[in-house]
Amino acid sequence: MDMSPLAEGAFSKLLERATGQELVAGRRWRIETALGPVMKAQGFDTLDQLATRLGRIEEARLQQEVVEALLNHETSFFRDLAAFRSFADEVLPALAELRTDTKRLRIWSAGCSTGQEAYSLAIDFRKKPDRWQGWDIAIVATDVSPQAVSRAREGLYGQMEIQRGLPIGDMIGWFDAEGESWRAKPELRRSISFAVHNLMEPPPLGRFDIVLCRNVLLYFPMATRRAVLDRIAGAMAPDGLLFLGAGETVLGQSEAFEADRSLRGFYRLKGWQKA
């Protein structure tokens, strides 16, 4: 389907204005596929017609539908398993040692999409009850997409979703079958606070010991990326840790963070290192 440069520009500007994300060249091929259902539902024949309608002030609902369609919700349970195992087996014990007095951990899953990352965290904690007995562990999971957050809060996943990265033992142990889908058990859902949040805005209140912001920054232009990292830095405990995606780094993109000396792929606020 043909699309004029003006239409492409309208979609790109709308997404960046709403979320801070940009439609880089590698993502533009998704426009037609992503917006096909919106066009069909609204009765548009071309992307140009849809773009023209978006310019009307009264079309706020349509604008939100387009933004939702253009967002990438790609995720899975225990995504990037090697990095996740390093997080569970090295990072969490290291932080637990620093928190022996308070026995409190506060974790922020930023850009949580439909919730698989947050549920993976919750499962890991519950699989080691002896280690975490008596601890107050709060998991806050946020995403810019209201639809994604709604799905995450429901904790209901189709067969293909549940099989992506989730061992069968965890599926049976922590999810209940509902027809051909699987729903996270109530105690698992209660352990996570899901909320809509735009990384362009101030972070959730409080200080976080761990922030996971994986495979999110790569969608932002450089200036926005720097601003987001600064906001995250302001939301972290002085000795907290930042966990990014495998293809992401803070090097050359933030003055607030530096690589941890012993935990590969993790970052701390600049100037803090354990003695």
Residues present in the chain in total: 275
Who contacts 90 (Cβ-Cβ below 8 Å, separation ≥6)?
263
pLDDT of residue 264 exceeding 60? yes
If pLDDT is split at 50, 70 and 90, which confidence band does 275 have? very low
Alpha helices in the chain (DSSP H): 5-19, 25-28, 30-42, 47-54, 60-70, 81-86, 92-98, 116-126, 129-132, 146-154, 159-163, 168-174, 186-190, 222-234
Candidate ranges 201-210, 245-254, 256-265; pick with highest mean pLDDT: 201-210
> Picking from 10-14, 183-187, 230-234, 264-268, which range would have the lowest pLDDT averaged per residue?
264-268
Residue among 149, 177, 147, 145 nearest 162 (CA):
177
Q: For residues 247 and 213, which has the higher predicted lDDT (pLDDT)?
A: 213
If pLDDT is split at 50, 70 and 90, which confidence band does 32 have? confident
pLDDT of residue 250 exceeding 80? yes
Q: Report pLDDT digits (tens) over 66-117.
A: 999 999 899 999 999 988 898 899 889 888 999 999 999 999 999 999 999 9
Q: State the Cα–Cα distance between residues 205 and 106, nearest whole angstrom.
A: 11
Residue among 12, 8, 20, 64 nearest 213 (CA):
20
Beta bridge partners of 177: 182
Indicate the average pLDDT of the chain.
91
pLDDT of residue 248 exceeding 90? no
Q: State the Cα–Cα distance between residues 154 and 139, nearest whole angstrom.
A: 16
pLDDT of residue 27 exceeding 80? no
CATH 3.40.50.150 spans which residues of the chain? 81-269
Q: What would the mean pLDDT of 212-237 be, rounded to a whole number?
A: 94
Q: State the Cα–Cα distance between residues 264 and 269, nearest whole angstrom.
A: 15
Stated pTM of the model: 0.93
What three-state secondary structure class fits 139? strand
Host H or E run for residue 268: strand 266-269
If pLDDT is split at 50, 70 and 90, which confidence band does 55 have? confident
pLDDT of residue 1 exceeding 80? no
Query: What is residue 3's predicted lDDT score, i.e. its pLDDT?
Result: 77
Q: Cβ distance 209 to 107 under 8 Å?
A: yes
* Alpha-carbon dihedral angle through residues 199, 105, 153, 32, given to the nearest 10 degrees: 30
Q: Cβ distance 117 to 212 under 8 Å?
A: yes
pLDDT of residue 2 exceeding 90? no
pLDDT of residue 192 exceeding 90? yes
Q: Report pLDDT digits (tens) over 107-122.
A: 999 999 999 999 999 9
Query: Which of 3.40.50.150, 3.40.190.10, 3.30.70.20, 3.10.28.10 is the CATH number of 81-269?
Result: 3.40.50.150
